[in-house]
Amino acid sequence: MVEQVEIVVASGKGGVGKSTLTSVLAVELAKRGVKLVAADADAEAPNLSITLGVREWDSVEPYYEGRIAYIREDLCTQCGICKEVCPLDAVEVVDEKHVINQWICEGCLTCSLACPEKAIRFIFRVEAGSIMVKRETGYGFPLVSSTIRPGRPNSGKLVTEVKNKAKTLLAGVGFILVDAAAGIGCQVISSLTGAKIAVLVAEPTPASLSDLKRIHLLTRHFMVAPALVVNKYDINPEGLEDILDYAGREDIPVLGMIPYDDTVPKAASTGKPLNIAYPESPAAKAMVEVAEKVAEEILVDWRKWYSRYRPKRPAPYIPRIK
């Protein structure tokens, strides 16, 4: 069986340094001979291409998703039932005619079921976004990214397609390094499912700890082995203690602690990964150390690492259905 191991960088909270860390990890791992594909699974705010300095794509494919309703004017009697039933208030009256605001409609079908004239039709294969591929980032690995159009549903389907594209590009045994979106929603769930290892990034703030606990719940659900990187660890000693306490209690290994460092935003402005733009900066050095640990302690025998740190028994989070 072809083995392609997914490693996901996730955090719950946004802005804690996922993409910065992912780009350094990808560059350093590739430098050490690890065969990998980087995948940006945050179509709402795709930043990995920016931190890697990728400006042009080898391919841009449309991503289709969902359907949008429209009203056939020749059949419509302007009775207004669609406007009454639409759960999203997407039906508007313009020049005394009922029309559907295509930016609001999510294609739920309610209006078409209620319309006595059967005047509601649908546009299928709505172009909701794009999936982009860069075969060589210049750092020894390909990048798959995606964008979603404002207002279009961003589902786990897009993440699934991004990951599948990455698997095709990997063409055989290797690793897929996934930069997950913030949050714990559908896209993040889709990033974590099938993954073996999650690098969780947190900063020493109460908000980040709260979100760390939420993302950790999902890694337990999906039987993913978690590891922690604390970013900007020196900005709040009390908060750091809380995070390290949590990691200790929950048996989450700490891969490294990155100091606060103003070269990080500066590197982002240059369009180069931190370790390339400012290799001597304290944050870059600390992130390179994390990459070394990932290479030497995790990837060298990922099964061993996985069996040590994965949840010992299934701990599914199951919402109640009445």
Partner 1 sequence: MATIKVGVPSEGDTLDSPVADRFGRAPKFIVVEVDTDTGEIVSYQAVDNPGYTAGSGAGVKAAQKLGELGVKVYAGPTPGPNAYAALNYLGIKVVTVTGVSVREAVKAALKELGS
Which residues lie near partner 1 (CB under 8 A)? 1, 6, 65-66, 153, 155-157, 160, 186, 189-190, 193-194, 221-223, 314, 316-321
Q: What is the DSSP string of 93-131?
A: EETTEEEE-TTT-----HHHHH-TT--EEEE-S-EEEEE
**CB 129 within 8 Å of CB 60:** no
Angle among Cα 104, 109, 113 to the nearest 5 degrees reads 130
* CB 131 to partner 1: min, Å: 15
User: Which is closer to partner 1, CB of 66 or CB of 256?
Assistant: 66
Burial of 254 (0-12, 13-18, 19+ CB in 10 A): middle
> Which residues fall within 8 angstroms of residue 314, CB to CB, at 6 or more apart?
223
User: Which is closer to partner 1, CB of 287 or CB of 298?
Assistant: 298
User: Which is closer to partner 1, CB of 106 or CB of 289?
Assistant: 106
DSSP 233: G
* CB 264 to partner 1: min, Å: 33
User: Which is closer to partner 1, CB of 67 or CB of 293?
Assistant: 67
* CB 67 to partner 1: min, Å: 9
* CB 163 to partner 1: min, Å: 9
Alpha helices in the chain (DSSP H): 18-31, 48-51, 81-85, 110-114, 156-170, 186-192, 206-221, 237-249, 263-270, 274-277, 282-293, 302-309
User: Which is closer to partner 1, CB of 1 or CB of 94?
Assistant: 1
User: Which is closer to partner 1, CB of 220 or CB of 232?
Assistant: 220
* CB 177 to partner 1: min, Å: 16
* CB 183 to partner 1: min, Å: 14
Q: What are phi and psi of 143, to 5 degrees?
A: -130, 135
CA distances from 188 to 4, 177, 295, 306, 307 (A): 19, 14, 24, 20, 23
